[in-house]
Amino acid sequence: EEYDNNNNNNNNNKANTRKDRFHIILTERMANRADNQTQVVYEETLDFLGLPHSPLRRDNIKQAKYTAPIKEETRAMLEEFFAPYNQELYDLLGEEEWQGVWDPPTTSTTTTT
């Protein structure tokens, strides 16, 4: 399907956004070495790009975590700001595995009796 700037169907960018043009990767899958997910995600990405498979160089794989604290006020502001954009992305992707990925973590409270 081709898109033309003069085409009347091109007025709505959302209508012209095609899911098959994006390959979005959950970094959690890349970090999951137990199930060999790093290799799986790497091969899926090569397939998406139409590139031949090549060995994954394990010496380039880094695992790091962001551990600096963030103020609760800052986190809340960012969550509120990005919420509508996250919902648009969920709607675009249309896959259940993405629902809630960027939602704020829930804090569970347990009570004992």
Task: Render 56-68 in DSSP notation, one character per residue.
Answer: --GGG--------
Verify that 42 and 72 share a domain, yes or no: no
Q: Is residue 61 within 8 Å of residue 68, measured between CB atoms?
A: no
Q: How far apart are CA 36 and CA 29, in angstroms?
A: 9
**Can you give the pTM of this predicted structure?**
0.53
For residue 47, the model assigns a pLDDT of 94
Residues 51 and 1 in one domain: yes
Answer yes or no: do 12 and 42 share one domain.
yes
Residue 48 and residue 75 in one domain: no
Within this chain, do residues 52 and 97 fall inside the same structural domain, yes or no? no
Q: Are 46 and 78 found together in one domain?
A: no
61 neighbors 55 (Cβ within 8 angstroms): no
Report the distance separating Cα 43 and Cα 52, nearest Å.
9
For the chain, 113 residues long, the average pLDDT of each consecutive 10-residue run is: 44 58 78 74 92 81 73 93 87 72 60 50
Is residue 50 in some structural domain? yes
User: Using CA atoms, how far apart are residues 19 and 77, in angstroms rounded to an integer?
Assistant: 29
Same domain, 6 and 40: yes
Do 73 and 40 belong to one domain? no
pLDDT of residue 21: 80
Same domain, 5 and 51: yes
Give residue 34's domain range: 1-56
Please indicate, yes or no, if residue 111 is contained in any of the structural domains.
no
H helices of 5-36, in order, are: 13-16, 27-31
Whether residue 78 is found in the same domain as residue 30: no
Let me know whether 46 and 72 are in one domain.
no
